[in-house]
Every structure is written in structure tokens, then in C-alpha cells.
């Protein structure tokens, strides 16, 4: 395969950091007296044996994360609180949770294996790269600075700059537009079901990065990725091998 442009999601794709976001959300939810993300589950049922309870808890957790991961805060917080929020509440809650994330993640972020080599190969071939993310601007700056990648992307498009967040295709369509390419000529890297659905709806080839969800969970988005990979080394050794040829 080949591509004329590449669009990366940020969290969970450029780096394996979703556990830090989960930790920040857990602290936030405890502060506000919230349960497990506003969702029910069967993990604590006394009728289940221990192994069944563990398996059920894992399945419940993955279902909850599939409903939230990759989406904008303004789409997440109403689910957590079980009600629509005023704009000032949305802003305060987002600032609180994302502040927790930046505090927890400072000095702990590492790029996914093979990312820097992939960026170098794309640059050498003159292939433009963009980030298409649901993260707020402060997080984008923080994360790219922590990774030492602030100057490595041609364009950055955030979901708060488009009418609809993932799983709608708006942010990927905007990324293709700023790269000056048809979406069909772009390859997207995504780690969440919502992100995969958004990239596919935009008409892009999509690689599912399995840092956060299994390949089967990514396929449950209703628009399965074209292929999956654990990291960018795997991509360069497989579907992206054309980038390594002189």
C-alpha cells in the first residue's frame, strides 16, 4: 500500500497513554461522587464465579471505554453525569480533568515504538503528516512537547474546531483538506472505535493501533480498520515496508 498523506490521532496512537487519562478520570469521578462512568454492569453479581466476574468486568470496562475513548470532553461529560451540562460546567470540568492528566503525565510520556523512524521516512519522501485529535489545545502542546515532536507535524486539527467530534468524520475531513489531499489518498492511524469509525467515514484507509483496544473491539465500531498493528515498527515491517525502500 501507499499514501500521499498520513493523519495520526494523538492519545493512544502516537503514544500509549490512555491509562493516564483513565487515572485522571478516576480521580475526577471520585471528587464528584460519580460511579463507574454512569454505566451499569454485572461484574459484582454474586451468581458469577470469580473467573466469570473478572471476564465480565473486563468486558464491561471495554464497552464503557468504547463509548467514551476518542471523543471530545463535551461529548463525554454528559454521559458521566447523566445529564446535559451548562457551558461553564463543561469548561470547568474539562479544565479540571485535563489539568489532572497533564500533572500525572509530566515526565512519563514516551512515543510508541517506531514513531520517530516512521516520521523520518515520511518526511524523506515528502509525504505530509497531520494530527487529528479530540484533545484540547493545552494537551496537544503538552503531549507533543513531552515527546519532543512539537515541530514534526505539518498541520494539527482538533475536534473542537469542527462541528462534530468522532465518530463523525469531520476532523479527518478537515485534516485532509488542510493537507490539500482527497481523503481517499490519506492513511489514518487510530486507536479507538470512535476514531476508526470517523476515519473510515471520511473515506480514509485506517490502521488500527491496538494500544487501547483489541482488534475485535476496534472492529465493533461498525467500520473495521483496514489492518491493525501493535506499534509503528510493525507497520514499517509490514504494510509500510514501501517507506523503507530506497
Which residues have a catalytic role annotated? Answer: 9, 11
Q: Which residues pair with 190 in a beta bridge?
A: 208
Q: What separation in angstroms does the CA of 147 have from each of 26, 77, 116, 144, 151?
A: 24, 28, 10, 5, 11
Indicate the burial class of 41 (C-beta count within 10 angstroms; 0-12, 13-18, 19 or more): middle
Q: What separation in angstroms does the CA of 89 have from each of 76, 121, 203?
A: 13, 44, 35
33 grid coordinates: 461522587
Q: Alpha-carbon distance 147 to 15, whole Å?
A: 9
For residues 188 and 206, the answer to whether their CB atoms sit within 8 Å is yes
Q: Alpha-carbon distance 237 to 197, whole Å?
A: 25
145 grid coordinates: 512537547
Q: Is 230 helix (H, G, I), strand (E, B) or coil?
A: coil
Residues 6+ apart with CB under 8 A from 6: 122, 127, 128, 129, 130, 186, 187, 188, 189
Amino acid at each position: 500500500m501507499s499514501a500521499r498523506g498520513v493523519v495520526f490521532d494523538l492519545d493512544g496512537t502516537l503514544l500509549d497513554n490512555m491509562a493516564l487519562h483513565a487515572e485522571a478520570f478516576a480521580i475526577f469521578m471520585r471528587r464528584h461522587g460519580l460511579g463507574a462512568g454512569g454505566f451499569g454492569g454485572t461484574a459484582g453479581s454474586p451468581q458469577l464465579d470469580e473467573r466469570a466476574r473478572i471476564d465480565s468486568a473486563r468486558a464491561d470496562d471495554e464497552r464503557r471505554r468504547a463509548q467514551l475513548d476518542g471523543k471530545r470532553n463535551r461529548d463525554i461529560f454528559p454521559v458521566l453525569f447523566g445529564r446535559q451540562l451548562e457551558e461553564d460546567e463543561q469548561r470547568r470540568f474539562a479544565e479540571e480533568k485535563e489539568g489532572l492528566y497533564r500533572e500525572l503525565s509530566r515526565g512519563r510520556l514516551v512515543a510508541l515504538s517506531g514513531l520517530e523512524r516512521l516520521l523520518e521516512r515520511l518526511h524523506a519522501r515528502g509525504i505530509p503528516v497531520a494530527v487529528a485529535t479530540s484533545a484540547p489545545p493545552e494537551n496537544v502542546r503538552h503531549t507533543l512537547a513531552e515527546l519532543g515532536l512539537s515541530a514534526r507535524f505539518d498541520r494539527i486539527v482538533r475536534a473542537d474546531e469542527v462541528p462534530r467530534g468522532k465518530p463523525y468524520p469531520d476532523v479527518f475531513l478537515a485534516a485532509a483538506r488542510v493537507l490539500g489531499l482527497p481523503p481517499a489518498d490519506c492513511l489514518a492511524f487510530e486507536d479507538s472505535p470512535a476514531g476508526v469509525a470517523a476515519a473510515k467515514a471520511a473515506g480514509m484507509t485506517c490502521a488500527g493501533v491496538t494500544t487501547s483496544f483489541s482488534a475485535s473491539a476496534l472492529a465493533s465500531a461498525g467500520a473495521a480498520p483496514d489492518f491493525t498493528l501493535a506499534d509503528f515498527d510493525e507497520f514499517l515491517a509490514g504494510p509500510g515496508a514501501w517507506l523503507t525502500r530506497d
